[in-house]
Amino acid sequence: MSPNESETKPDPQAATGEAGAPPSEEGAAQHEALYDRFAERVREIFDAGQEKSKEAMEKAMEAAREQLSAAGEFSAEQGEVFKRFMNRDLEQTARDMRAVSKEAKERLNPSRLGAGALSSMSRLLEAAGSALQSLSRKAEDALRYSTGDITTAGTLTCTHCGQEVQLKRTAKIPPCPKCHGTEFRKGY
């Protein structure tokens, strides 16, 4: 009867409740650490073997995937995704190591990289010597990186607006801070 009914009416929007845990900051950090472990495991297996070919590298990657999978660290599916990420990062790192300036080569020097997957991969490529020079498919074909992928430290450049995003360590790629683009090229 009175016009003050709005005071007691429950707000239907209020029922949606808490947003809950953020989608997974923690999950992302765990994935990043796991990727570092995966890369280091591949390097160890590759190092221990006699053969330093591309095939040996692939075998090392598969063995590392099986080991971490058997240890319950990740699912078979996730292991396959990591292999794909690592193949791409290896190829990008190999390109950078042979194509870039002396200054950038010095930056990629394993002794200067500290821990993490980039360090593992640089050491791995160094140990492989010329055997992995042919990692690239087409040298001019820029490798593509997408928001949500995990990758090693380096500089990403948004293919849409040219904004650079620096990754200081292994990380899950964020959207472009400037245009929210989701596709990048990478270099060091």
The rounded distance, in Å, linking the Cα atoms of 92 and 73 is 26
Q: Which is nearer to Zn ion, 38 or 184 (CB)?
A: 184
The rounded distance, in Å, linking the Cα atoms of 135 and 108 is 17
Q: Which is nearer to Zn ion, 122 or 157 (CB)?
A: 157
Q: Does 176 bind Zn ion (CB under 5 A)?
A: yes
Residue 132 CB burial class (10 angstroms; 0-12, 13-18, ≥19): buried
Residue from 84, 112, 144, 178 touching Zn ion (CB under 5 A): that is 178
Q: Which is nearer to Zn ion, 82 or 184 (CB)?
A: 184
Tell which residue, 132, 51, 131, 52, has the closest CA to residue 90: 132
Residue from 87, 136, 163, 182 touching Zn ion (CB under 5 A): that is 163
Which x/- pattern, by CB under 5 A, does the window 110-149 give for Zn ion?
A: ----------------------------------------
Q: Which is nearer to Zn ion, 97 or 158 (CB)?
A: 158
Residue from 90, 158, 165, 173 touching Zn ion (CB under 5 A): that is 158
- The continuous run of DSSP H or E covering 162 comes out as none
> Token pair for residue 170?
């292994």
- The continuous run of DSSP H or E covering 167 comes out as strand 164-167
Tell which residue, 86, 150, 153, has the closest CA to residue 113: 153
- Count the alpha carbons within 13 Å of 107 in the hemisphere toward its beta carbon: 13
Residue from 160, 169, 175, 183 touching Zn ion (CB under 5 A): that is 160
Q: Kindly indicate which of the ranges 32-40, 59-67, 119-127, 154-162 contains the residues binding Zn ion, using the contact rule CB under 5 A.
A: 154-162
User: Would you tell me which residues interact with Zn ion (CB under 5 A)?
Assistant: 158, 160-161, 163, 176, 178-179, 181
